[in-house]
């Protein structure tokens, strides 16, 4: 019987369920066999989904788009839409750190997206033509402007956006709830205004013996923004990732998203992740338990912002241009809708939310618009009123399903704690009848992996975390 428990403790991964089956054949309790079956089904589903996810861009380009073009028009996303789905997934994962893990509603998240985009614009474009710094980039030496490869810009954008996240987060630490939301909204509005207005800057500095003057500096390109921006370039294979290079940028975005998810998942399970959740549930109690609330909240802002930095630099490099018009309040809200629709606090949920919302926003509504316009030209085009639907989504979700469609397990558990407690008791009984001689704690271990964590929620976050890591 110990073997069962041991095998349960093995690290998962694809094929892990095979080990379970081979080791526990014969003499296993019925409840546990069901659990294994469920786990296996889950693994298969996940594997299929992962393969679909990885092959979809190719399938989309060579099969679905062709079908849509030549046979029957269907709302099939093009490569740009796919890229933007993933760029916004990165943002949603980042906002989920701030809003989902730490429970700090950030309504100005777009500011960091803008900072990421302008980082790429400053460091990989001919904008600062007075200098010529070409570092390992895909442009000839001596070309005007600063040119740094995308691969260096991404970490820089993360650091810069993260720094601004901490800077902007610092004054808000005393605030809670709605006041914090409004202050972040203010930052989100100020940052694009700054980028828009710093097109003609005159600095005169005259103090004691220091005399410095620079007139009419165009720092940000004003309302026109900055273009062209160098596209990401992979030297070995010679691939350029821009809007005209097919599905290559989709995979680039996919890799960045995968790294982001890996990072976010590890954060969630780390000490800092537990501290965020403690703050989210009860800031005062968390502080009493020794959580350093100031540092923890600053980290949430900084790390969340760094994801928007990645997304922004990717967006600007991919499109090859950026203007302050990209970064509006509605973009912040769009990301918030993705997070809420998918399931606040759940990384997979928010990615599904981002993909779904961007699909509706960039493919389905324009498609419906075209179809409607071709039948009744005077009828309003739904693509222009996308935020009518998105606003309704917010209202309806808050009313009927505030935890989102793929909720965070802990949150779902809190919402229906008594139901799950009853279910756990029932499981304990079934296994007890099998006369396994295990005590109650190990009964919980025997529960299917997907459900066991719910049962453990009654225990401390510390225990839950250990159980997941094992």
Partner 1 sequence: MDQIVQTFIIGLSNGLIFALVALGYSLVYGIIELINFAHGDVFMLGSMIALLLISGVFGVTAATPPLMIVVIVAAVILITMAVTATINVTIERLAYRPLRNAPKLAPLISAIGMSFVLQNIALLVAGPANKSIDNILPPVNLLSYIGVNTVELSFRQVFVAVVTVPLLIGMSWFVAKTKQGKAMRATAQDPDTAGLMGVDVNRTIAFTFLIGGALAGAAGVVQILYNNVTVWNLGFRFGLNAFTSAVLGGIGNLPGAVLGALVLGQINAFSDRYVAANWTNAIVFMVLIGVLVFKPTGLLGQQLADRA
Interface contacts to partner 1, rule CB under 8 A: 105, 107, 171-172, 174-179, 181-183, 185-187, 189-190, 193-194, 196-197, 329-330, 333, 336, 340, 380, 384-385, 387-388, 390-395, 398-399, 402
Cβ neighbours of residue 247 closer than 8 Å, sequence gap 6 or more:
57, 58, 60, 61, 79, 82
CA 187 to chain CA centroid, nearest Å: 20
Structure tokens at 232: 């990401």
Residue closer to partner 1 (CB basis): 144 or 391: 391
Q: Please spell the DSSP secondary structure of 148-215, one letter per residue.
A: --HHHHHHHHHHHHHHHHHHHHGGGTT--HHHHHHHHHHHHHHHHHHHHHTTSEEEEEEETTEEEEEE
Instruction: Classify residue 146 as exposed, middle or buried by CB count within 10 Å of its CB (0-12, 13-18, 19+).
Output: buried
The full DSSP string for 438-450 is --HHHHHHHS-HH
183 to 270, 288, 401: CA distances (angstroms): 28, 26, 27
When the beta carbons of 104 and 438 are compared against partner 1, the nearer one is 104
Measured from the CB atom, the residue of 25 and 203 that comes closer to partner 1 is: 203
Q: Return phi, psi of residue 147, to 5°.
A: -135, 110
User: 252 vs 333, which CB is nearer to partner 1?
Assistant: 333
Helix (H) or strand (E) holding 216: strand 210-217
Residue 184 or 317 having the CB closest to partner 1:
184
Closest to partner 1 by CB, 64 or 182 = 182
């Amino acid at each position: 019987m110990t073997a069962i428990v041991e095998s349960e403790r093995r690290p998962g991964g694809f094929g892990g369920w095979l080990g379970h089956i081979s080791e526990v054949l014969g003499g296993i309790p019925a409840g546990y066999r069901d659990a294994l079956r469920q786990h296996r089904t889950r693994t298969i589903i996940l594997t299929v989904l992962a393969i679909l996810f990885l092959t979809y861009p190719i399938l989309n380009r060579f099969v679905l788009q062709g079908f849509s073009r030549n046979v029957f028009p269907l709302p099939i996303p093009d490569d740009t839409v796919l890229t933007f789905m993933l760029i916004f997934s990165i943002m949603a994962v980042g906002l989920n750190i701030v809003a989902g893990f730490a429970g700090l509603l950030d309504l100005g998240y777009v500011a960091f997206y803008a900072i990421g985009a302008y980082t790429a614009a400053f460091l990989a474009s001919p904008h600062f033509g007075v200098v010529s710094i070409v570092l390992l980039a895909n442009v000839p030496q001596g070309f005007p402007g600063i040119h740094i490869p995308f691969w260096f810009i991404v970490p820089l954008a993360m650091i810069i956006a993260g720094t601004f996240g901490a800077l902007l987060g610092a004054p808000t630490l005393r605030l809670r709830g709605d006041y914090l939301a409004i202050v972040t909204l203010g930052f989100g509005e100020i940052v694009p205004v700054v980028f828009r207005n710093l097109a003609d800057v005159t600095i005169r500095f005259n103090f004691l013996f220091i005399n410095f003057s620079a007139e009419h500096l165009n720092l940000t390109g004003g309302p026109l923004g900055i273009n062209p921006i160098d596209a990401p370039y992979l030297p070995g294979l010679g691939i350029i990732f821009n809007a005209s290079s097919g599905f290559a940028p989709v995979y680039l975005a996919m890799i960045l998203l995968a790294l982001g998810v890996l990072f976010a998942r590890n954060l969630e399970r780390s000490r800092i992740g537990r501290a965020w959740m403690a703050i989210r549930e009860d800031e005062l109690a968390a502080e009493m338990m020794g959580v350093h609330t100031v540092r923890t909240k600053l980290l949430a802002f900084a790390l969340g912002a760094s994801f928007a930095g990645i997304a922004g630099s990717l967006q600007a490099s991919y499109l090859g241009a950026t203007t302050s018009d990209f970064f509006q309040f509605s973009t912040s809200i769009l990301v918030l809708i993705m997070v809420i629709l998918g399931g606040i606090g759940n990384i997979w949920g928010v990615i599904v939310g981002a993909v779904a919302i961007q699909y509706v926003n960039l493919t389905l509504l324009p498609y419906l618009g075209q179809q409607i316009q071709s039948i009744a030209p005077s009828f309003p085009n739904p693509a222009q009123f996308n935020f009518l639907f998105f606003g309704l989504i917010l209202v309806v979700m808050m009313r009927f399903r505030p935890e989102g469609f793929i909720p965070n397990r802990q949150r779902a558990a809190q919402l229906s704690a008594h139901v799950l407690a009853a279910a756990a008791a029932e499981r304990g009984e079934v296994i007890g009848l099998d006369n396994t001689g295990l005590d109650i704690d190990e009964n919980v271990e025997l529960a299917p992996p997907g459900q066991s964590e719910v049962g453990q929620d009654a225990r401390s976050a510390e225990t839950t975390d250990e159980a997941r890591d094992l």
